[in-house]
Amino acid sequence: MKLPIVAYGDPVLKKKADEISPEYPELPKLINDMFDTMYGANGVGLAAPQIGLSIRLFVIDITDKEEPGLEDFKKVFINAQMLEESGSLWDFNEGCLSIPDVREDVKRLDTIKLSYYDEKWEHHEETFTGLAARVIQHEYDHTEGKLFTDKLSPLRRAMIKSRLDAISRGAVKVTYKMKFPAGSKRR
Ligand SMILES: [Zn+2]
């Protein structure tokens, strides 16, 4: 089942999310719904705060049959904690399903070490690099209440402010279902 995606400006996107336990109600269904929602919006990652749940859960699918290491990269990350970020800074043009039509270059380190549980509640401590690291960093930030726009320079942020405000008001065309912050005209 596809769920509405919360738009920029909703306070849930600014909140540090809580850990969950294996008893979290209907977790397998929630994970399925998150994948459905992500695929329905042509995304490669989706974090629970983006569907209005302030919990430490995100899903990613960056499977690329041609790319070594990404041949089967459909993963669920529960209670993830960033242990280390290292390597060199690189620019990548990021977008976000909560911030439609805004894409900006963001600098992040290229290597991360992450602790997390998968959907079977098996614990992993794993190192990721390149695109995998990048997508994880973006989704992980959602569970920390951070957005990629927070990483832009003040000048760049000022330049896109009116577009961000428009998204918060619901004045944006999207092909998927969204939930706009209370008080906006279109919901
Ligand atoms: Zn995002």
Residue 184 has a pLDDT of 64
**Binding-site residue set for Fe cation:** 96, 138, 142
**Arithmetic mean of pLDDT, 166-176:** 95
Distance 27 CA to ligand 1 centre (A): 21
pLDDT digits 0-9 by tens, 23-58 = 999 999 999 999 999 999 999 999 999 999 999 999
Model confidence at 187: pLDDT above 50: no
Distance 144 CA to ligand 1 centre (A): 12
Which has the closest alpha carbon to 37: 5, 10, 7, 68?
A: 5
Residue 183 has a pLDDT of 62
DSSP designation for 83: E
Structural domains of the chain sorted by starting position, each given as residue range(s) with its CATH number in brackets: 5-179 (3.90.45.10)
| Banded pLDDT at 182 (limits 50, 70, 90) | confident
Average pLDDT for the chain: 96
pLDDT digits 0-9 by tens, 131-140 = 999 999 999 9
Model confidence at 83: pLDDT above 70: yes
| Banded pLDDT at 186 (limits 50, 70, 90) | low
Which has the closest alpha carbon to 13: 181, 184, 159?
A: 181
84 is catalytic: no
Residue 185 has a pLDDT of 54
What is the H or E stretch that residue 159 is in?
helix 154-169
Which has the closest alpha carbon to 48: 175, 173, 168, 144?
A: 144
Q: Where are the alpha helices (DSSP H) in 10-124?
A: 27-40
Ion ligand 1 neighbours (CB, 5 A) are 96
Distance 62 CA to ligand 1 centre (A): 14
Residue 62 CB partners (closer than 8 Å, separation 6+)? 44, 45, 70, 73, 131, 132, 135
